[in-house]
Structures are given as structure tokens and as C-alpha cells.
Amino acid sequence: MRILSLLATYIATAIFGIIHADTMSLWDRMKPPVDISVNGHLIDSLFYFTTYLILVYFIFVCIGLFGFSYYYWSKKNPKPTYLHGTSKKHVAIVAAIGAAVFITIDMQITRISNEDFANEFINWPNEAKEDVLKVQVMAQQWAWNFRYAGKDGVFNTEDDVVTLNDLHLPIGKKIVFQVTSKDVIHSFFIANTRQKVDAMPGRVSRMWVELKQGGKYEIACAEICGTYHYRMASRLTVHSPEAFGEWMVDAEERALQVNDTEDPSRYWGWKWQNAISVSKK
């Protein structure tokens, strides 16, 4: 009894504390993280489209389930009717329902996602003509390392800006990430942009985003990578272009002061690999 009493007290305290510590409504809790990228709405719209269609079919299933349960209720039909569902009529009905689901959900999801991928997400910035911010990302158990090229514009040199679990990005500029891993497979996930890419040992993955809103956000690992996977969190700070420029100047000055040219572990970067733009615009 004492254990049950303590458990009830703990649960009540937890619920009471949550209610009073956080005034967010249930609907607010169910909302996805705020979208801060120019392309995130495409992923959101596909998710909502899929959810609403599934909800419509779920309602039809419930109507059929409860409707037929009532229609064939024992009080209305004392004599049971046995059907094997193998008649041409029944096979045609099942085939029509399956085709409707396949065409209106599966085919539509495939069409929309392919169009978004071809028109936007694989539309890599032209690094030779556009002002692009390049960031190298090294994942490891259980942290994120970020590298910016310094004033010389070349990666893996002594003026590089290197941060641990602290990513800074500007608004209104296309950002290209090249991502790899030091040990096991991780997944570089910025929930507020709706995008992620795997970080794999021996391979460089790529992802690009463009941000439209400042603030502080979280970066997570979306691939179970070991015992402390849940601790593999990083901070993302999105600045105005002016504020990011100031941060970068300060970071470059600090880098020249603290970078140890004789420490080989400091130079985990690689030669930047330019992406080929496939823009149709």
C-alpha cells in the first residue's frame, strides 16, 4: 500500500507540476517545430496531405465496421449469414478499394515527393556563382563537430573556425553541409528545417538549406548510434546577416589564437567537394 501511495503521489505531483509549469495547450504540444527554412513547408504539406487522406479512409473504415456490425446485429438477423468473400462481386469491391487507396495516397505521395525533390531539394546552389556558406560536419559518439573555412576560404587550414555542438548560421543565405562520421552511422537532423542526412564513416553526405527566421534551435541525431545516443544534441543559432558576420569575424580571430598547428586531431577536415547544380530555373 505504501508503494502505491508513493506512486500515486509521484504521478499527481508530476501532472500538477506539468500543468502549472507549462501553459501550452494540448494542440500546441501536437504541433511540429516551427519551420525556419524556405523549403520546409513542402515537407509539411506532404505530411498533412497524407494524414488527411488517411483520416478520410479511416472514417470510411469505421463507418463500414460499425455500420455492418449494426446491420448484421443478431437481434436484427437471428439467422446468421455466412459469406466467404470469394464471389466476383466481393473480389471487385476489395480490388476497387485497394486501387482507390493506391491511386489517391501512394501514387500521389510518390508524385508530390518526386516533384519537390527534383524541383527544390536537389537544386544545389551554384557554388561558383552564388554566395554560399559552406560547413563541414563531423559526427562522433556523441557530439557534433562543425568546421568553417577561415579567411583563406580553404578547409583544413590553421585559420578554420571549429566548434563543438555549437552551429551558427545566417538568415537569407544558402548553406551547404558536407557530413561524415568518425565512428558509426549517425544522422544530422535539423527538425526546424525538416531535413536530415546520414553521417557515415568513409563517406561524405550533402545537404543544403536556406533559413528565414532567427533564433535558437536544436540539432539532434536521428539514428540510434550507441549508449548515449539520447545525449547527442547540439545548438543551432540563426543570426541576421550582420550579426553572423560579426560572429564570424570574432570566431576567426579566436581561431588564429587557439588553433594548434602541431595538433593533428585538430585537422579532421577534408578538401571541399563542389556539388553539381541541376537547377532547371
Phi, psi for 215 (deg, rounded to 5): 140, -170
pLDDT tens-digit map of 221-243: 999 999 999 989 899 999 999 99
Cα 258 from Cα 137, distance rounded (Å): 20
Q: Quick one: cell of 110?
A: 510518390
Quick one: 192 exposed, middle or buried, by C-beta within 10 A (0-12, 13-18, 19+)?
Answer: buried
Q: What integer pLDDT is reported at residue 166 of this predicted model?
A: 93
What's this model's pTM, rounded to 2 decimal places?
0.77
Cα separations in angstroms, 177 against 125, 199, 272: 11, 11, 10
What is the identity of the amino acid at 164?
Answer: L
Residues 59-115 pLDDT 10s: 999 998 998 888 878 777 777 777 777 888 888 988 998 898 899 888 999 999 999
pLDDT at residue number 260: 72
Using one digit for the tens of pLDDT, what is the confidence trace for 130-172?
A: 889 999 999 999 999 999 998 888 898 888 899 999 999 999 9
| 176: pLDDT strictly greater than 70 | yes
What is the structure's pLDDT at 151? 84
Q: Are 239 and 169 in contact (CB under 8 A)?
A: yes
